[in-house]
Amino acid sequence: MLNVIAQDAGPLAARLRSFGEITWLAEGRAFDIGFDGDPASVLDAAHAAAGDLVAELKADLNVVATAGRKKKLLVSDMESTIVACECLDELAALAGIGPKIAAITERAMRGEIAFEGALRERVALLKGLPLTALDEVYRDKVKLIGGARELVATMKANGAKTLLVSGGFTYFTSRVKEAAGFDEHQSNTLHDDGKVLSGTVGEPILGREAKLEALERGLQRFGLTAANALAIGDGANDLAMIERAGQAGGLGIAFHAKPLVAAAAGTSIAHNDLRAVLYLQGYCEDEIVTLAPIPEPPVYGL
């Protein structure tokens, strides 16, 4: 199935009509076209036919399997995937060392340096930061990306289990789990003395391999195969779980990802929000769970 998503997908539908019958998932925004043939060749041909409209309309074109399309296990990264920030970078900004830590974060997310060592190095630079900074970052900087709550709620309404698995910190994942509606969360623990950060993090660090292990454990716990899995993230430490899901008949999605991840993932969302993850699974607009706007995050005591 060729899946096309854009804020205005009408011109793309007109351009791609010769590929086959168009089935609208969301009128004017997302549609499918069934086809016979080699998926890679069809995707290349669709990009060629769409031409400059792909960039102009900020469209995402992907080929997805039709069998077992709606997945039963969601394993998602948090930062820059479910929320629109990197929490450690925001803490660094409050500490006055934002550019220094952001540069290390960027290298780690691009896969240029090992995630675990990069995390220890960055956390050490935060030694002495007051714990009130955690609450300030959550309150002022941690905002859900569009469609996050609808993605989780719709998949759960259709029997899926949802896991938030992050290389970040439990202070944030515990709160984002509740805000977005995930069933469970898993991440790293910052050490403190009750007033300030100690500059160390709990071991073993949850990184690339730990995220893959979380996916495998989830499949085993819920009696699922990898074909039932959907893994999504943006950084190099997400790549193992994304590739595992994508290579096993599941769905591995690079979401607004670093070039290394986007190139390796079989499926990519570069322009749209998280509702696109539902369209990729074949959900129609009237199947998406509608939720009331989320209130402003409360101030959590420490």
Give 191-207 pLDDT, tens digit per residue. 999 999 999 999 999 99
Amino acid at 55: A
Enter the CATH code of domain 1-63: 3.30.70
**pLDDT bucket at 212, cuts 50 / 70 / 90:** very high
CB count within 10 Å of CB 3 equals 21
Domain with CATH 3.40.50.1000 in the chain: 70-302
Q: Which of 258, 255, 295, 290 is nearest to 83 (CA)?
A: 255
Query: What is the spatial distance between Cα 127 and Cα 121, in angstroms, rounded to a whole number?
Result: 11
Token pair belonging to 147? 């469609």
Token pair belonging to 135? 């609450």
Query: What is the spatial distance between Cα 34 and Cα 44, in angstroms, rounded to a whole number?
Result: 15
Query: What is the spatial distance between Cα 261 and Cα 269, in angstroms, rounded to a whole number?
Result: 11
The structure's pTM equals 0.94
Q: What are the pLDDT digits (tens) for 104-144? A: 988 888 889 888 999 999 999 999 999 999 999 999 999 99
Q: Is 5 helix (H, G, I), strand (E, B) or coil?
A: strand
pLDDT of 298 = 46
Considering the segment(s) 70-302 as one domain, its CATH architecture is 3-Layer(aba) Sandwich (3.40)
Q: In terms of C-beta density within 10 A (0-12 exposed, 13-18 middle, 19 or more buried), how is residue 13 classed?
A: middle
Domain with CATH 3.30.70 in the chain: 1-63
